[in-house]
Chain A
Amino acid sequence: MTKVDLPDSILNKVDKPARYIGGELNSYTKEVTEEMVRIAFCFPDVYEVGMSHLGMQILYHFFNRREDLWCERVFAPWLDMEKIMRERNMPLYGLESKSPLNEFDFVMFTLQYEMSYTNILNMLNLSNIEIFSKDRSEDAPFVIAGGPCAYNPEPLAAFVDIFYIGEGEVMYDELMDRYKEWKKCGKTREEFLASILDMPGIYVPKFYDVAYNEDGTIKERIRLHESAPETIKKVIVDDVDNVFYPDCQVVPWIRAVHDRVTLEMFRGCIRGCRFCQAGMIYRPVRQKSKEVLIGHAKKLLKSTGYEEISLASLSTSDYKDLENFSDELLDLCNSEYVNVSLPSLRVDAFSVDLMQKVQEVRKSSLTFAPEAGTQKQRDVINKNITEEEILNGCKLAFEGGWNRVKLYFMLGLPNEEDSDVTGIADLAEKIVETYFEVPKEKRQGGLQLVVSTSCFVPKPFTPFQWAPQDSEESFKRKHNLLKNTIKRRQIKYNHHDAETSVLEAVIARGDRRTANLLYTAYKKGCTFDSWSEHFSYDAWKEASAESGVDFDFYAARERSYEEVLPWDHIDIGVTKKFLIRENELAKNVTTTPNCAQKCTGCGAARFGKGICHEN
């Protein structure tokens, strides 16, 4: 095992040197043995972002529970560190052992957002690992990728050897066992890749080719190996109560974006919002029992010493036993001087009640996401919430002493009209009126209402996967329209840039040819594209022209139901038939009941688990 030398003279020169030293509380140090499989778990962003990621915490401890595996963490070095590393020919290394990445067996990337993709190419390059999968030598590590963006693996197919589709706890043990077998036999790299084709959830892109029609759409997918499956079925955990969950978390040296105990309450979401990819790919909903959650909470607080715990799920207030669970959790936390934080709340009475309990003394701001300004538009996206419920929720919050409210909306949703855009201003106006209707002695002075809009990005595996994205010009016009409609000084309006969203749409629904765009942009110096100060739209536009990857073709084009989509060979359980039906209902402004109310036959019931089989 070689170690990268990390002298003080380097660490003294960089910002936040603790990003690069490793050795945090609850991290692993192991003796390297002959039979040990070494995994570099890479988060393609900076330390403070990556250390906030629950999936990494789970898989890190999942792998390290086995003595014959050593999983280490790797983050993208910030630009000052990268510069020094390149000057000194210093390779990227695992934080635990300081071994260079090209000495690992697996280099594993988690794909959380499209705008991190150029960092993946950069991290491979910094590790002296060939960027293109086809160029890798026999002794190179296998590059694996998983996570939500892996559900459309095609834009990264040229760079990644193995995609893992689904939840990590299911197949990784077997994959590692098979790898050990293969290593003993001294077979070729290609033989290993072929030998795992029968494993559910595993996609090896090199065993497929794609043929295109003259208009640029996909003609067909061609299997290049007899064992390569036609479709790759995602794998999910059957029993979330008994699946591995870590007793501890690695506690970052410096303040991470989310620096607290994270308690995963359930996977999946009952709601079925039509724009939401997570709501589809994580189906069906599987809840952990209250007893299991309280047990996890105790162990995690004990092992980390954290002063805050956060509840993680796609929609916390949908937890079945919420009242009892939150009471029990609050008892535990109050006795330990621990704060509870609640993300993902819906604007309803139940949520405000919960907020009230959690934050008895200090009232932070309330964040709600109505997503659309008018009832018509909320029905289009199947966000099953009425204006009355929103206003009532706000009224309760104002009466409860909150005076800061943040509202999230999307612009450019399918079938959007100008009245839907100005409807956002109207709704904000009504919320301000609601505030003033609350008697002065009951409300906290100084209302601050922040309205934030993001630009809608159509994503694979949603009912809107065929939809055209709004153009940059249209987004900009709508930003202005909304800005000019908001009159009140209590309302502040923020919006996300259209440019990043257009690019996100290109990559999210990209195909294998999109790899050329990523590589060309990377060659032009694009990295850290999700950091607005480093994002260069001009460089991306140049890369588009040079690579021939036309933004409009991928972002702005409406697909027909007949078109072969780049991700059609991935099977998430939810059927295309269901997505088409939902898209048609959206056009008719008709809502669909949620999973708790009624099964609508999305297809996820085939997993035989979760909410589909509880009612």
Chain B
Amino acid sequence: MRIRLKFRKTGPVKFVGHLDTMRLFQRAVKVASVPVAYSQGFSPHSLVYFALPLGVGVQSTGDYMEIVTATDIDPTIVKDNLNAVLVEGVRIEDAFKVGDKSDSLMSLVQAADYDVRIAKTEGVTLQLIERKLQAEELIVMKKGKAGIRPLDLKPMLLECNVSEEPDSILISMYVLAGSSSNLNPDLFVQALLEGEVAEIEKQVTRKEMYTADGDTFIPLDTFGREQ
């Protein structure tokens, strides 16, 4: 049985990287006595999957993972049992059954939205960011296999709102995400600020992940739910 879970990862635990978070969940699943299934072969591992890696230092209020169980179990029980053993800052918010033939969680992810809060410093103004957003293209120099080359980020940006707060600027961005096309919020902010970003204090929160449903994107927790 496939159980999809929506979880939050906030507070200091956001500094635990993706691979370490995976191991954390694999262990939590065992501690919580979830009847997880194992892969076949020489070195069996538990079948726990994640939607999209989260960078070190990035928190999330809408991340997803999936557990394949060996026996059927009520998803609510999985959620409660995991919450009873998980560390502070990691919380399962929702758990639901998905069909055995459903596409893999990773392949479903096509968009995500992020909040990026940056400290107001000299040179970093609302006007600068707005001007950049209105431009035809947003070019950034990106390191790739073929060396450093220019990349236009605009086609990957679905929507972006900027607002000003007393000490900070809040950039809310809705972007393409996932294995086929992915806009990294760090890279985007770097492009907006013309490379001054390394020196700037910022807080990144991933809020939700989406999959395509016809012409629109819908949140992952509304997709593929089975009773």
* Chain A residues in the interface with B (C-beta under 8 A): 6, 8-9, 11-12, 17-18, 21-25, 251, 253-255, 301-307, 336-337, 361-362
Contact stretch, chosen from B25-33, B129-137, B151-159? B25-33
A253's contact among B20, B43, B46, by CB below 8 Å, is which? B20
Task: Point out which of B20, B24, B31, B42 has the most chain A C-beta atoms below 10 A from its C-beta.
Answer: B31
Closest chain-A Cβ to B7's Cβ sits at a distance in Å of: 16
**Chain A residue with Cβ nearest B42:** A361
Closest chain-A Cβ to B33's Cβ sits at a distance in Å of: 8
B15's contact among A17, A25, A304, A337, by CB below 8 Å, is which? A17
* Cα–Cα distance between A17 and B38 once the two chains are bound (Å): 31
A304's contact among B13, B27, B201, by CB below 8 Å, is which? B27
* Cα–Cα distance between A332 and B56 once the two chains are bound (Å): 36
A8's contact among B23, B26, B57, B87, by CB below 8 Å, is which? B57
Closest chain-B Cβ to A416's Cβ sits at a distance in Å of: 43
* Cα–Cα distance between A181 and B203 once the two chains are bound (Å): 48
Contact at B43–A362, with CB atoms within 8 Å? yes
Contact at A25–B46, with CB atoms within 8 Å? no
Contact at A17–B56, with CB atoms within 8 Å? yes
Contact at A25–B26, with CB atoms within 8 Å? no
Contact at A9–B29, with CB atoms within 8 Å? no
> Beyond the given A25-B27, A25-B85, could you list 11 further A-B residue pairs with CB under 8 A, ordered by the A residue number?
A6-B12, A18-B15, A23-B13, A23-B89, A254-B17, A302-B31, A305-B26, A305-B27, A337-B44, A337-B45, A337-B46
Contact at B201–A8, with CB atoms within 8 Å? yes
* Cα–Cα distance between A21 and B23 once the two chains are bound (Å): 17
A18 touching B20 in the complex, CB below 8 Å, given contacts A24-B87, A25-B87: yes
Point out the residues of chain B lying under 8 angstroms from A251, CB to CB: 24, 27
Chain A interface mostly helix, strand, loop or mixed? loop
A305 touching B30 in the complex, CB below 8 Å, given contacts A8-B203, A9-B201, A253-B20: yes
* Cα–Cα distance between A23 and B88 once the two chains are bound (Å): 7
Range class of the B interface residue count? 20 to 34
Point out the residues of chain A lying under 8 angstroms from B38, CB to CB: 337
Contact at A25–B20, with CB atoms within 8 Å? no
- Mask of B1-43 contacts with A, CB within 8 angstroms, 1/0: 0000000000011011100100110111111000000100011
Question: Could you give 7 example pairs across A and B, Cβ below 8 Å?
Answer: A8-B57, A22-B12, A23-B13, A302-B31, A305-B28, A307-B26, A361-B42
* Cα–Cα distance between A255 and B22 once the two chains are bound (Å): 12
* Chain B residues in the interface with A (C-beta under 8 A): 12-13, 15-17, 20, 23-24, 26-31, 38, 42-46, 56-57, 85, 87-89, 201, 203
Point out the residues of chain B lying under 8 angstroms from A23, CB to CB: 12-13, 87-89
A21 touching B15 in the complex, CB below 8 Å, given contacts A11-B57, A255-B20: yes
* Cα–Cα distance between A604 and B94 once the two chains are bound (Å): 60
* Cα–Cα distance between A362 and B42 once the two chains are bound (Å): 7
Point out the residues of chain A lying under 8 angstroms from B45, CB to CB: 307, 337
Contact at B87–A304, with CB atoms within 8 Å? no
* Cα–Cα distance between A521 and B31 once the two chains are bound (Å): 46
Point out the residues of chain B lying under 8 angstroms from A22, CB to CB: 12
* Cα–Cα distance between A259 and B89 once the two chains are bound (Å): 22
* Cα–Cα distance between A399 and B28 once the two chains are bound (Å): 40
Point out the residues of chain A lying under 8 angstroms from B88, CB to CB: 23
Point out the residues of chain B lying under 8 angstroms from A6, CB to CB: 12
**Chain B residue with Cβ nearest A7:** B201
Point out the residues of chain B lying under 8 angstroms from A253, CB to CB: 16, 20, 24
Point out the residues of chain B lying under 8 angstroms from A8, CB to CB: 57, 201, 203
* Cα–Cα distance between A18 and B89 once the two chains are bound (Å): 13
**Chain B residue with Cβ nearest A259:** B23
* Cα–Cα distance between A153 and B4 once the two chains are bound (Å): 56
Contact at B29–A21, with CB atoms within 8 Å? no
Closest chain-B Cβ to A142's Cβ sits at a distance in Å of: 30
**Chain A residue with Cβ nearest B15:** A17
Contact at A11–B13, with CB atoms within 8 Å? no
Contact at B27–A306, with CB atoms within 8 Å? yes
Contact at B57–A17, with CB atoms within 8 Å? yes
* Cα–Cα distance between A253 and B14 once the two chains are bound (Å): 11
Closest chain-B Cβ to A247's Cβ sits at a distance in Å of: 12
